[in-house]
Every structure is written in structure tokens, then in C-alpha cells.
Amino acid sequence: MIIVLKSGATEEQIQHIVDKTKKMGLKANISRGVERTVIGLIGPEDVLRVTPLEVFPGVEKVIPVLAPYRLVSREFKKENTVVKVSKQVSVGGRKIVVMAGPCSVESAKGMRDIARKVKQAGATVLRGGAFKPRTSPYDFQGLGEEGLKYLQEAGRAHDLATITEVMDPRHLELVCKYTDIIQIGARNMQNFSLLNEVGRIKKPVMLKRGISATVKEWLMSAEYILSNGNFEVILCERGIRTFETATRNTLDINAVPLVKQLSHLPIIVDPSHGTGVRELVGSIAKAGIAAGCDGLMIEVHENPEEALSDGPQSLNPKDFSAVMKDLEKVAGAVSRTIL
């Protein structure tokens, strides 16, 4: 259920509605837009039959939400959400944000060098994994807190925001200490305990689509985060598992405009994981921009042949710079910018 307030609704009227609905056993989430403030209610809506909310001071209308993901839906919020990461970086605006860097944080020098080069090419967010979920328990699993320090130091040295993955609720406080955006990886999209925890923090969260998840399941996972109070959520389409074996995954380009219709949350595309083939990364990145994505996540490594993880899909800095120049042309064609 969504309560749309009148343009002149006061803070006292808003709080009155929140207090009343709380006594009914409903949880209220307030979204303040440019023209209107709306309140999304979560809980057993049949209690509202006893007390119709249309009679409350400041209420313009009450709208039932048809989608199961209530707070994520366009019904709850018509305008696009813009997630502010730092003074320089916002995801969801006219500028398409590029997150770039190696799959794994491997060394302090390596992170500083790659941070400098992706910054020069136009990236504004530095990526790197300190805790790495790998299919094999014998593969490189990341440097942990040491890697987080290297990521933070490299980002600060080159004025880049940072993003890294958290896998375990027990690591959340530690990861929040060092990074600007918390990433929930594909394997953890339906780790509901983790989703609830990141929903309670006040830090941007990027939620990757699960390897076999439907769009509805993906948006329902985002709903877990928003329902706990954190509305700073970025969605990431990174490819799904299909019968095709020529690429690592099948990037669902349909999901970009579809999610834009269904949800107000910004969405980015990960062409590196979406293809697993470095020669395809640029083309799929262009397709993502043309489809309306708000950002890209691209893996870049100084020497992909020696990368400890995801070398085959990583670009070297020279190729990344060339791709960025091509992407700016596509962005301009859809009235966006990337550099």
C-alpha cells in the first residue's frame, strides 16, 4: 500500500501517519521526492479496512501496490532513484558511471598502478575483491583485510570511490570500514540474512543478479534491503546461466529496459562477467548503454595473463582506455555522458 501525500503535507502530519500505521502492525518507509512525499506500508493490509487512511490529514490518495516488490516498484516511486556514492559520484543520473579494476586485489602496488590508469581513462569507481567466492576451494580466495586496505589506499590516492564484495554478515562491519559501495555477488543474491544486514547500514549497496535468477526474484532480493531501511541500492545485470557454452554467461540485455520499467532503482551492466571473453566486453558495454544502463563494471588488469582470477575476461589498461573512448560516442547518442 502506498500513501501519496499532498504537496503541502507537514512533518507533523507525516509522523502522525507513521505512528498510527505502526500501531496497526505496519512498517512505514518514507520516500521524499521532488514534488511529493510517499509512504510505503509493509504488513497485513487488511487492517486498513478498519481505519481508511484517506481521512488522515495531509493524505492525497492511497494506492494498492500490485507488484510483490513494493518499495522497489515504480508504483512506490515514479522518478528514478539516484544513489549518491561520494561528492563526485552518483549512480542513476545523466552520467554513466564506470567501475573498473581487477577481479581480485593482489598487491598494494598493483592496485595503485591500476587505479591511476583507470582514472586517466575516465573511471570514477575502483573495483577489487578482497574476499573472493570461488568455485574451487583451492583457488585464490583473496587477501581479506589486507586487500581492503590496499583498495582503500589506491582509491584515496587517485580520488576514486571504491567497491568490493562482502560474502559473510560477520565481515560487513569490516568491509564498511574500508569501502564506499558494498557489493552483493551473484552467489549471494538470495542470502537473505546478508540482505537483511546490508539493509540496516547507511551505505550504497550493489546487488548482482543471481546466475539463474528471474528478474522478479532479483527485485524481490532488492526488496529485502529496502524493507530494512536502506534505499541506496544499485542493481547489476551480470549475465545468467543458459545452455550456451561459447561465453561464460548470457548477458540479459532485455533486463535493462525491463527493470527500468518495473523499478526506480538504477541498474548497471557487467560485460566482463556477462561474457567471460575480453574481446566481447566493449561490444556488450555499448549494448548496455544503448539499452539504458546507468553504469558499467569492467575488469581491468595490468597483465591479464598473470591475473590470479578472471584473466580471460580482463582488459589491459590500453584496451580499456580505447573502449572508454568508444563508449563515450554511444553515450552521446542516447543523450548521456561517460567521460
- What fold is seen in the domain 2-63? Alpha-Beta Plaits (3.30.70)
Q: How many CB atoms lie within 10 A of CB 169?
A: 14
Q: What is the pLDDT of residues 178-220, one digit of tens each?
A: 999 999 999 999 999 999 999 999 999 999 999 999 999 999 9
- pLDDT > 90? residue 32: no
Above 80 in pLDDT, residue 291?
A: yes
According to DSSP, residue 121 is labeled H
Q: Note the pLDDT of residue 41.
A: 86
Percent of the chain with pLDDT over 70: 96
Q: What pLDDT is stored for residue 134 in this prediction? A: 62
pLDDT of residue 8: 85
pLDDT at 5: 92
Q: What is the mean pLDDT of residues 44-64?
A: 79
Does domain 83-333 correspond to CATH entry 3.20.20.70?
yes
Confidence of residue 50 (pLDDT cuts 50, 70, 90): low
Grid cell locating 112? 595503485
What is the location of CATH 3.30.70.1140 in the chain?
A: 2-63
Q: How far apart are CA 196 and CA 198, in angstroms?
A: 6
* pLDDT at 51 > cutoff 80: no
Pairing of strands 83-84, 295-299: unpaired
What b/e string do you get for 8-43 counting C-beta neighbours within 10 Å, with b at 16 or more?
Answer: ebeeebbeebbeebeebebebbebeeeebbbbbbbe
The label of the residue with cell 545452455 reads 243
Out of 36-45, 244-253, 286-295, least confident range: 36-45
Q: Please compute the mean of the pLDDT values over residues 298-311 and round it to a whole number.
A: 93
pLDDT of the residue at 141? 67
Percent of the chain whose predicted confidence (pLDDT) is above 90: 76
**Which range has the worst mean pLDDT, 61-65, 228-232, 281-285?**
61-65
Portions of the chain given CATH number 3.20.20.70: 83-333
pTM, full prediction:
0.88
Q: How confident is the model at residue 136 (pLDDT cuts 50, 70, 90)?
A: confident
The predicted pLDDT at position 49 comes to 63
pLDDT at 131: 84
Strands (E), 194-265: 205-208, 233-237
Tell me, what DSSP letter sits at residue 171? Answer: G
Q: What share of the chain is helix, strand, coil (3-state, %, to 5)?
A: 40, 20, 40
Per-residue pLDDT at 255 = 98
Burial of 113 (0-12, 13-18, 19+ CB in 10 A): middle
